[in-house]
Copies of this chain bind each other. A is one copy, B any other.
Amino acid sequence: MKDETSSFAARLKANALAVETLLAELLGPDPCTDEIARPAILFDAMRHGVLNGGKRLRPFLVSESTAVLGGSADAALRIGAALECVHCYSLVHDDLPAMDNDDVRRGKPTVHVAFDEATAILAGDSLLTLAFDIVAAPETPLSDRQKTELVLALARASGHGGMAGGQALDLAAERKTPDEAGIVTLQAMKTGALIRFACEAGAIIADAGIEDRRRMRSFGEKIGLAFQLADDLLDLTADAAVMGKATGKDAARGKGTLVALHGQSWAERELEKLVAQAEELLAPYGARSAVLAETARFVANRRS
């Protein structure tokens, strides 16, 4: 058990390093084809927002779901980097004074604090745009059909009907606490959509059939729900120093969460159920899916 955990941790860390290295390369000083110039301040802000030493859970899910189905690891790394650009842009914008007004993230000043609000807005916009650039770029070793499918799926997961829409619902939830159905929709959009995309992307990258694609998508939904429940539990219990950001903010703002509605022990049972369902979805892949199954447990049990 100890070996399994430490090998999982090593694998997660190695992938995070590969993602960080690729993102640093993509955000280097030299303009690509069709770029006119790379303004230094904007790039410093983009790097500040994205090269933050995160766990890179979403890219890991892309890589591991691709590995289970036998797709290109290089392509998975690039799609993971694109997805991380979307995730990081959303953090940069969510931290803005007009949104969650957070000064610190992962123990560092947020982009608008380290630079200024205008630069943070533009850095977020540019990271979002870069995500689609990376998917479509000639360096991504996928067919045009796969790239088109990934662009569409990423846009749907990120935009008005996914993550950005979820953030809009989250802002509305500060004014009026949503009912249970409203909370479920909000969370499926705000955090679930990108995690679901991460797993479904593996099936697209591996050019898998419809059955595998549905299975990976359902797996992504389960761990998206687990991720959010674990997050809500952490918000209740974690120490701000461990999280590297302010905690207890959801409760302070009166935002509804399922944990607040049903209690901590309900949430812990629910997490066990979700992990079991996620593992069941992976059953047909046998030992090949051991790391992905471990990821589901990691997501449910994470303490930071």
* Contact A38/B160 with A121-B93, A136-B151 known, Cβ cut-off 8 Å: yes
Check A141 for interface membership: any CB of B closer than 8 A.
no
| Most chain B CB inside 10 Å of its own CB: which residue of A38, A133, A152, A168 | A168
Are A160 and B35 in contact, CB atoms less than 8 angstroms apart?
yes
Check A293 for interface membership: any CB of B closer than 8 A.
no
Check A162 for interface membership: any CB of B closer than 8 A.
yes
Are B98 and A165 in contact, CB atoms less than 8 angstroms apart?
no
User: In whole angstroms, what is the CA distance A156 to B118 when docked?
Assistant: 20
Q: How far is the CB of A193 from chain B (nearest CB, A)?
A: 7
Check A125 for interface membership: any CB of B closer than 8 A.
yes
User: In whole angstroms, what is the CA distance A153 to B154 when docked?
Assistant: 18
Are B161 and A132 in contact, CB atoms less than 8 angstroms apart?
no
| A122 contacts across to B, CB distance below 8 A | 93, 164, 167-168, 171
| A167 contacts across to B, CB distance below 8 A | 122
User: In whole angstroms, what is the CA distance A165 to B180 when docked?
Assistant: 42
Are A37 and B129 in contact, CB atoms less than 8 angstroms apart?
no
User: In whole angstroms, what is the CA distance A9 to B41 when docked?
Assistant: 42
How many copies of this chain does the complex contain? 2
Check A264 for interface membership: any CB of B closer than 8 A.
no
Are B130 and A159 in contact, CB atoms less than 8 angstroms apart?
yes
Are B36 and A189 in contact, CB atoms less than 8 angstroms apart?
yes
Check A169 for interface membership: any CB of B closer than 8 A.
yes
Check A185 for interface membership: any CB of B closer than 8 A.
yes
Check A144 for interface membership: any CB of B closer than 8 A.
yes
Binding stretch for chain B, among A26-34, A66-74, A238-246, A268-276: A26-34
Q: Which residues of A contact B (CB under 8 A)?
A: 31-39, 41-43, 46, 89, 93, 96, 98-99, 116-119, 121-122, 124-126, 128-130, 132-133, 135-138, 143-145, 147-149, 151-162, 164-169, 171-172, 185, 188-189, 192-193
List, sorted by A's number, 20 A–B pairs whose CB atoms are closer than 8 Å: A34-B161, A36-B165, A36-B166, A36-B185, A39-B168, A39-B172, A42-B168, A43-B160, A89-B125, A128-B128, A129-B159, A130-B155, A132-B151, A133-B156, A136-B149, A136-B151, A138-B152, A143-B144, A144-B147, A147-B148
14 further A-B pairs in the complex, CB-CB below 8 A; given A93-B122, A98-B121, A133-B156: A31-B161, A32-B161, A34-B157, A36-B193, A122-B164, A125-B128, A126-B164, A129-B160, A133-B159, A136-B149, A136-B151, A143-B144, A144-B145, A148-B148
